[in-house]
Amino acid sequence: MITFQREKWADCVDEMREIWPEHWAALALNQNEIALGVDEPKYANGDLAGVLHLVTARVDGVLVGYYYGMLMQHLHYKDAGLMCYTDVYYLQPKYRRGGAGAKFLIAVMESLKVRGVVKLYMSTKVHQDNGALFERLGMKCTDRIFTKMLGD
Residues in contact with other proteins by the rule CB under 8 A: 1-4, 96-103, 106-107, 109-110, 113, 132-133, 136-137
Side-chain half-sphere of 33: how many Cα atoms within 13 Å? 7
Residue 42 vs 136, nearer CB to other proteins = 136
Of the candidates 114, 4, 107, the one whose C-alpha atom is nearest the C-alpha of residue 65 is 4
Q: Shortest gap between Cβ of 16 and other proteins (angstroms)?
A: 20
Q: How far is the CB of 26 from other proteins (least distance, A)?
A: 17
Distance of CA 137 to the CA centre of its chain: 16
Q: How many CB atoms lie within 10 A of CB 63?
A: 17
To the nearest whole angstrom, how small is the minimum distance from the Cβ of residue 133 to other proteins?
5
Q: Between 72 and 102, whose beta carbon lies closer to other proteins?
A: 102
Looking at beta carbons only, is 13 or 100 nearer to other proteins?
100
User: Is 3 or 31 the residue whose CB approaches other proteins more closely?
Assistant: 3
Q: Measured in Å, how far apart are the chain's first and last C-alpha atoms? A: 50
Comparing CB distances to other proteins, the nearer of 23 and 58 is 58
C-beta separation of 31 from 24 below 8 A: yes
* Nearest distance from C-beta of residue 73 to other proteins, angstroms: 24
What counts of helices (H) and strands (E) characterise the chain?
4, 5
Single-letter code of the amino acid located at 93: P
Least distance from other proteins to the Cβ atom of residue 112, Å = 11
